[in-house]
């Protein structure tokens, strides 16, 4: 591994707007009367609910159990009563099944897991089982079950912790690395032990020098390395991060383990640390609530199931009418149409966008300037693919490797004709995958 991180191809430099919340210390959000926990917070097999209406639950008690390998259980964010098992607005603007917990105010732990204090000598398999039982997912945004990534079927020699946080506005991981540096490093060491590795590397973008310094103070003790990264969106994308740190390129359709890497988010590392050393399941996370329209943007530690409306209240409410509400960052976040959507394990940010930065536009024809091609970090041809999609030729799009697209949005961000490139690729990927499933059924 070289000391100087490489520059991946392409990428963009949006205004990072992190100053709004970067200096605000993480505050524990006060206990609410009611939590509406969305059941399926991960990518993978849907869960099986194990509680029913009227059940009394303790904090950390199992609410729904995993039904397959690529699936993680869900635990109660507080102690109280299950008052409803209904549908609630989900993050993708469709209603999703949820469990409503009315808190009893005691916030009393049930029987959490047995802490594994001596993790240095624990069996890696037992540690991995704990990661799976605690319901830990990729907390950077994807929500992919962490234990699956920790079960590589190919030899792995590098563990990378993703602390790049390249999305503008978001500062949750920044604050976390600054305030809980030792926990992050411990989490990294535990993850390394699970994978049978001696060391891990934490990648942090150079716009967070204080976090790098804080991590460096404790990293050496656990033989973890901290590496500053160029400030360039999407530096935090898995494949770009691997390239920057190791110079290896993940093949199209491949996984990080194909090049001997495993990537975990820093927030997930903390969740691993808490699950192993403290025995706590994954029921809370740090989320940035930010945006110019907010009176008091900042970072809060929310329990899962906290409605967005409560989060916005904590941030002092709004002083001007926002144009958009996003879950996640401005580049990859999902627009919401309900304030009743609740915080999930992968909600890294709640972002209000002011009216002046959301331009209402109509998309114009492609002028073939090639900006999208130079910006694409995956080296595909956004302009050509979008034309194929517009003509309904998903077979062309497939030949042009649209499946390699990581939906970072760099192309749409730069396009002077305001073409909805990213949305076209989402469509093409969905159509191609649907066609493949159809083919498999036959």
Partner 1 sequence: MTIILTSILFAAGLGVLLAVIIGAAAKAFAVESDPRIETVTDMLPGANCGGCGYAGCADFAKAIVEGRADPSLCPVAPPESAGRIAEYLGITTQEKEKVIAVVRCAGDCAATVRSPYNGVGDCRSAALVAGGGKGCDYGCIGFASCARACPFDAIEMRDGLAVVHPELCVGCGKCVETCPKNLIILAPAAVDVHVYCNSPEKGALKRKVCKTACIACRKCVKAADSEEQMTIKGFLVETNYSSPPLPDLVEKAACPTTALRLATKHAAGAYEGVSK
Which residues of the shown chain bind partner 1 in the complex (CB under 8 A)? Answer: 87, 92-95, 334-335, 337, 360-361, 420, 423-424, 426-427, 430-431
Q: At its nearest, how many Å lie between partner 1 and the CB of residue 204?
A: 31
| Closer by beta carbon to partner 1, 53 or else 278 | 53
| Closer by beta carbon to partner 1, 18 or else 427 | 427
| Closer by beta carbon to partner 1, 111 or else 362 | 362
| Closer by beta carbon to partner 1, 65 or else 426 | 426
Question: What is the C-alpha end-to-end distance of the chain, expressed in Å?
Answer: 46
Can you give the C-alpha Rg of the chain in angstroms?
21
| Closer by beta carbon to partner 1, 249 or else 407 | 407
Is there a contact between 301 and 29 (Cβ–Cβ < 8 Å)? yes
β 80-84/95-103 pair status: antiparallel
User: How far is the C-alpha of 211 from the C-alpha of 329, rounded, in Å?
Assistant: 20
Residues 118, 124, 130, 133: what is their CA dihedral angle, to the nearest 10 degrees? -170
| Closer by beta carbon to partner 1, 337 or else 440 | 337
Residue 429, helix vs strand vs coil: helix
Tokens of 344: 């999930």
| Closer by beta carbon to partner 1, 151 or else 423 | 423
Is there a contact between 103 and 309 (Cβ–Cβ < 8 Å)? no
| Closer by beta carbon to partner 1, 345 or else 424 | 424
| Closer by beta carbon to partner 1, 15 or else 361 | 361
Instruction: Tally helices (H) and strands (E) across the chain.
Output: 13, 18
Is there a contact between 95 and 88 (Cβ–Cβ < 8 Å)? yes
Is there a contact between 19 and 207 (Cβ–Cβ < 8 Å)? no
β 62-65/48-49 pair status: antiparallel
> H helices within 19-171, ranges in order?
124-133, 146-149
Strands of 207-250 (E only): list them. 224-229
User: How far is the C-alpha of 75 from the C-alpha of 73, rounded, in Å?
Assistant: 7
Tokens of 369: 């300037």
> How deeply is 105 buried, as exposed, middle or buried, from its count of CB atoms within 10 A (0-12, 13-18, 19+)?
exposed
Tokens of 101: 């917990």
Closest CA to 99 of 56, 36, 48, 154: 36
Strands of 282-422 (E only): list them. 284-290, 298-303, 322-327, 334-335, 349-354
| Closer by beta carbon to partner 1, 193 or else 324 | 324
Q: At its nearest, how many Å lie between partner 1 and the CB of residue 339?
A: 12
Closest CA to 332 of 416, 233, 439: 233
Q: At its nearest, how many Å lie between partner 1 and the CB of residue 247?
A: 34
| Closer by beta carbon to partner 1, 252 or else 433 | 433
């Amino acid at each position: 591994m070289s000391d100087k991180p490489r520059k991946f191809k392409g990428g963009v430099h949006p205004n990072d707007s992190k100053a709004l919340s970067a200096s605000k210390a993480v505050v524990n959000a006060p206990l609410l009367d009611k939590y509406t926990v969305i059941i399926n917070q991960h990518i993978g097999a849907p869960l099986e609910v194990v509680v029913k209406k009227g059940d009394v639950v303790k904090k950390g008690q199992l609410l729904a159990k995993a039904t397959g390998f690529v699936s993680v259980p869900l635990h109660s964010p507080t102690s109280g009563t299950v008052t409803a098992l209904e549908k609630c607005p989900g993050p993708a603007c469709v209603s999703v099944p949820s469990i409503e917990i009315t808190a009893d105010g005691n916030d009393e732990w049930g029987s959490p897991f047995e802490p594994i204090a001596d993790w240095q000598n624990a069996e890696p398999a037992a540690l991995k089982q704990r990661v799976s039982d605690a319901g830990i997912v990729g907390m950077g945004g994807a929500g992919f079950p962490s234990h699956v990534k920790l079960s590589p079927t190919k030899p792995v020699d590098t563990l990378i912790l993703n602390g790049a946080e390249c999305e503008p506005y978001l500062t949750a991981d920044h604050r976390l690395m600054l305030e809980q540096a030792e926990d992050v490093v411990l989490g990294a060491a535990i993850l390394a032990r699970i994978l049978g590795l001696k060391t891990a590397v934490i990648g942090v973008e150079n716009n967070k020098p204080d976090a790098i310094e804080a991590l460096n103070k404790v990293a050496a003790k656990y033989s973890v390395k901290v590496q500053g990264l160029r400030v360039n969106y999407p530096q935090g994308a898995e494949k770009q991060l691997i390239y920057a740190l190791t110079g290896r390129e993940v093949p199209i359709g491949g996984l990080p383990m194909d090049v001997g890497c495993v990537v975990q988010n820093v927030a997930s590392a903390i969740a691993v640390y808490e699950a192993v050393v403290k025995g706590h399941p994954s029921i809370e996370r740090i989320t940035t609530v930010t945006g110019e329209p907010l009176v008091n943007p900042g970072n809060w530690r929310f329990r899962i199931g906290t409605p967005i409306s409560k989060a916005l209240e904590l941030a002092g409410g709004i002083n001007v009418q926002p144009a958009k509400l996003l879950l996640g960052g401005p580049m990859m976040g999902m627009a919401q149409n309900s304030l009743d959507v609740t915080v999930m394990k992968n909600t890294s940010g709640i972002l209000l966008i002011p009216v002046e930065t959301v331009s209402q536009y109509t998309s114009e024809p492609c002028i073939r300037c090639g900006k999208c091609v130079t910006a694409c970090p995956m080296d595909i041809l956004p302009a050509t693919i979008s034309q194929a999609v517009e003509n309904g030729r998903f077979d062309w799009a497939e030949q042009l490797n649209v499946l390699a697209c990581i939906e970072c949005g760099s192309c749409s961000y730069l396009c002077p004709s305001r073409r909805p490139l990213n949305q076209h690729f989402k469509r093409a990927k969905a159509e191609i995958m649907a066609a493949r499933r159809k083919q498999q059924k036959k």
